[in-house]
């Protein structure tokens, strides 16, 4: 069985001009070497330019699977470099997009909790420079996952990913991205009441929308 691990740790390389409301974007993430400290709001020396829609403790770290990047590389006919999707963690051996909401994973000396899927935006589309990118990414459905930091620490490329807690509700990142069914929404509510996880405001809105 393949051991799940982080293949690359990425953080902002430079702020780029952008036509969005902020005027710049921090989507240009690139791989770094050595240990990187992880705090409540994410990786040390990483930033988010549009903090109304990115960052915060519920979107502190963004993880994307190397397996999903390989699918896009084949479709686009070019390499998808670590960090090109704006991810902080490029992973291997873990189906990030189908991870159960609230799953906790230890990486290095830090611990993370799966919170919400990534929603593609116009900045991401401009970054990729591909026709109909937002719709194509949406149709693919393998969005990667945002993570909450549940224990501060440090991480580096090559660290194993160990699942420390798996909630019983079974609702995945992809389920949430596609739109939860009423049964899934109730399962999320019940899991929060049972103390298995803390739903983000975005998840709460999705739950209330279908109940």
The number of domains in the chain is: 1
Spatial distance between the Cα atoms of 22 and 177, rounded to a whole number of angstroms:
25
Residue 190 reports pLDDT greater than 90: yes
What's the pLDDT tens digit per position in 134-158? 999 999 999 999 999 999 999 999 9
Burial of 77 (0-12, 13-18, 19+ CB in 10 A): exposed
**Is 188 part of a structural domain of the chain?**
no
Confidence label for 207 from pLDDT (cuts 50, 70 and 90): confident
Output the six-digit token pair for 109. Answer: 């000396």
**Is 69 part of a structural domain of the chain?**
yes
Nearest to 36 by CA among 55, 60, 2: 60
pLDDT above 70 coverage of the chain, percent: 97
Nearest to 154 by CA among 63, 47, 36: 36
Q: Annotate 144-156 with DSSP letters as a single string.
A: -EEEEEEE-EEE-
Read off the pLDDT of each residue in 118-146 and give the average, rounded to a whole number.
96
Range of the domain at 19: 5-167
Residue 17 reports pLDDT greater than 90: no
pLDDT reported for residue 211:
86
**Is 147 part of a structural domain of the chain?**
yes
**Is 191 part of a structural domain of the chain?**
no
The upper half-sphere exposure of residue 145, i.e. CA atoms within 13 Å in the direction of its Cβ, equals 27
Confidence label for 187 from pLDDT (cuts 50, 70 and 90): very high
What's the pLDDT tens digit per position in 26-58? 899 999 999 999 999 999 999 886 666 677 889
**Is 22 part of a structural domain of the chain?**
yes
**Is 57 part of a structural domain of the chain?**
yes
Residue 202 reports pLDDT greater than 90: no
The CATH number covering residue 30 comes to 2.40.33.20
**Is 133 part of a structural domain of the chain?**
yes
**Is 186 part of a structural domain of the chain?**
no
Structural contact between residues 173 and 96, judged by C-beta atoms closer than 8 angstroms = yes
pLDDT reported for residue 51:
64
């Amino acid at each position: 069985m393949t051991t799940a691990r982080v293949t690359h740790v990425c953080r902002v390389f430079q702020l780029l001009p952008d036509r969005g409301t902020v005027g710049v974007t921090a989507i240009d993430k690139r791989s770094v070497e050595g240990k990187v400290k992880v705090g409540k709001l994410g990786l040390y020396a990483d930033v988010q330019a549009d903090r109304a829609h990115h960052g915060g403790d519920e979107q502190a770290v963004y993880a994307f699977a190397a397996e999903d990047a390989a699918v896009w590389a084949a479709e686009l006919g070019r390499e998808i470099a670590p960090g090109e999707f704006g991810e902080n963690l490029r992973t291997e051996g873990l189906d990030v997009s189908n991870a159960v909401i609230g799953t906790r994973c230890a990486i290095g000396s830090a611990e993370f909790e799966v919170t919400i899927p990534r929603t593609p935006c116009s900045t991401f589309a401009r970054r990729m420079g591909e026709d109909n990118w937002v719709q194509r990414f949406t149709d693919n459905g393998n969005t990667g996952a945002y993570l909450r930091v549940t224990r501060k620490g440090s991480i580096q490329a090559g660290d194993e990913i160990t699942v420390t807690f798996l909630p019983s509700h079974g609702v995945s990142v992809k389920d949430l991205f596609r739109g939860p069914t009423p049964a899934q929404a109730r399962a999320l509510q019940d899991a929060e009441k049972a103390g298995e996880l803390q739903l983000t405001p975005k998840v709460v809105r999705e739950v209330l929308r279908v109940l």
